[in-house]
Amino acid sequence: MSEFDELLAWSKVPVPEGLRQLQPKQQQEVLSWAKNLVDHETEGLDDLYNAIGMIVKYIPNFMVIPLMVEHIRPRIAAQVCIKMGIDQATGYANDLPLEYFSKISTYLDEKLMAQVLTKMKRSQIEKFIIMTLKEDPARILDIANYLERPVLEILAKYVALPEDESELATSPYRELFAKIRSMQ
């Protein structure tokens, strides 16, 4: 993937077709400008996310959770989660309302989500898997590539695999489906 394509994939906002029609040198100029703009506008945010993660360590979950849900957007909460570490993030993930945690999860990469899910309470894992299978099955399958066996076994209980073998053979998840099928 080119550096330009990586930038375009970074945002979930649709890209104007005109950007793709630019010459490579012009694309590089747009890429450089966009990176500088983002760096300028987000300067200091990593420090803020670190600080929030450190501060909330000392506040009981029963106080933090309602404040998070009410006042912190999921994208911001995800950035704080990235900075705080797996154990602390898992502590919050277990206590957050499922809908809010699900929104946060969309901003976390698959590997980090798998690590968090692996340490979560089983009941919360099941609820998250069921919800994500309904709303975005590809997302949970992407996360599943990084799941440890016990959590993958939970997922296997809820995944309905395609019946048609030719559909399985052409699926980008065929190796994962083979693992899941062996657990069902």
Residue 27 lies in a domain: no
Give 13-46 pLDDT, tens digit per residue.
Answer: 777 788 778 888 888 888 888 888 888 988 999 9
What range does the domain containing 139 cover?
A: 45-183
| CB within 8 Å of 33: residues ≥ 6 apart | none
Handedness of CA 37, 103, 111, 133 (dihedral sign): negative
- What is the total count of domains within the chain? 1
Residue 13 lies in a domain: no
Contact 55, 85 (CB under 8 A): no
Residue 25 lies in a domain: no
Residue 145 has a pLDDT of 93
Residue 55 lies in a domain: yes
Give 42-82 pLDDT, tens digit per residue.
Answer: 899 999 999 998 898 899 989 999 999 999 999 999 999 99
> What distance in Å separates the CA atoms of residue 22 and residue 151, rounded to the nearest whole number?
45
Give 131-140 pLDDT, tens digit per residue.
Answer: 999 999 999 9
Residue 114 lies in a domain: yes
Residue 178 has a pLDDT of 84
Per the confidence metrics, is the pTM higher than 0.75? yes
Give 89-124 pLDDT, tens digit per residue.
Answer: 999 999 999 999 999 999 999 999 999 999 999 999
- Give the angle 58-64-67 at the CA atoms, nearest 5°: 145
Higher pLDDT, 111 or 1: 111
Residue 129 lies in a domain: yes
Assign residue 85 a region (left: φ > 0; alpha: ψ between -120 and 50; beta: otherwise).
left
Based on its alpha-carbon atoms, the radius of gyration of the chain, rounded to whole angstroms, reads 19
Which of 61, 11, 48 has its CA nearest to residue 31? 11
In degrees and rounded to multiples of 5, residue 15 shows phi and psi of -95, 130
Assign residue 159 a region (left: φ > 0; alpha: ψ between -120 and 50; beta: otherwise).
beta
Residue 90 lies in a domain: yes
Residue 38 lies in a domain: no
